[in-house]
Amino acid sequence: MSQRPLILVTNDDGITAPGLRKLISIMNTLGEVVVVAPDSPQSAMGHAITINSTLYLEAVTIDDGPQKEYSCSGTPADCVKLAVNEILDRRPDLCVSGINHGSNSSINVIYSGTMSAALEAGIESIPAVGFSLLDYSWSANFDACEAFVKKIATNVLKNGLQDGVVLNVNIPKLDKDHIKGIKVCRQARANWKEEFDKRTNPMGRDYYWLTGKFINMDHGEDTDEWALENGYVSVVPVQFDLTAHHSIQQLNTWDLK
C-alpha cells in the first residue's frame, strides 16, 4: 500500500489564523499533514531567518486533526527549515503556505512572509505554493478558496513543478459563484508609494506609522493584478534565482578589467 502524500503546511499569520485552519482542512483531504507555523503573526517578514536568538518548537493541538502540529517562535522561513531538518522523517511531497489574510500579488511577493515560506521550501526542492485571499479581515470567509486551492494543490502533487519554481496564488474577494476561473499570469509592475504618519508620544519622542498607496503602473492584461481585478484567481510562477539574465550581456560590454 503506497503512502499518502506528505504535505507541510505553514503560514505567516500565526498558527491560530483562520486562513491556516482552512488550508489545513483542505490538505487533510489530500494527504498526511504536518503543520509548522509561527506562534504569533509574522506578516511582511520577507525571507528573514533567526540567527541571533534561540528558536523554540512546541507540539500543539488546535483542533481535531488528524494532522500533527507545531508552534514555532521564529519566522515563516524558520518554520520550513525546522520542519525539514528536525521534524519530518521524509521529504514532503508538497509545501503549502497560507491562506494569507490579504494580497500577495505583484510587488507584495517581495515582502510576504507567506511566500518566503513557500520559497524556502522551493530552495529545498520541495514543490510549494503560497495561497492568499484579498481580504485582510481576521474574520474573512475562506469558503470560496476551497475548490481553487484543492485544484491547484492536486495538480502540483500530480505534475510537480520545475526545480526552483514556486507558485504564488492570489484569490479575489468574491463569492465562489462570481470567480470566473484561474489564470496563469506574470507579476504586475506595481509598487507602494510609502508615506509615514509622524506623531509624538506623551514622553515627547517622535514615532512613525508606515502608510501609503498601491500604484499599478502595468496595464497589461496578462498580469496578476488584471486577473484579480477581473474576477480570476491569479497563478504566478516565481523563482528565488534573482539574476537578471537579460542584463549579463550588457554588463559584459563595460570596461571592468
Q: Could you state, in order of their start, the residue ranges of all structural domains in the chain?
A: 6-187+220-251
Average pLDDT over residues 88-105: 95
26: left (phi over 0), alpha (psi -120 to 50) or beta: alpha
User: Which residue, 245, 108, 247, is CA-closest to 190?
Assistant: 108
Phi first, then psi: give them for residue 211, nearest 5 degrees: -130, -175
CA–CA dist 143, 225 (Å, integer)? 22
Phi first, then psi: give them for residue 242, nearest 5 degrees: -90, 10
∠ CA 29-34-39 to the nearest 5 degrees? 120
SS3 state at 148: helix
Check: CATH 3.40.50.300 for 6-187+220-251?
no
CA–CA dist 74, 68 (Å, integer)? 18
Confidence at residue 207, expressed as pLDDT on a 0 to 100 scale:
92
Confidence at residue 86, expressed as pLDDT on a 0 to 100 scale:
95
pLDDT tens for each residue of 25-77: 999 999 999 999 999 888 878 888 888 999 999 999 998 878 899 999 999 99
Average pLDDT over residues 168-185: 96
**For the whole model, what pTM was predicted?**
0.92
**Maximum Cα interatomic distance, the chain, rounded to a whole number of Å:** 68
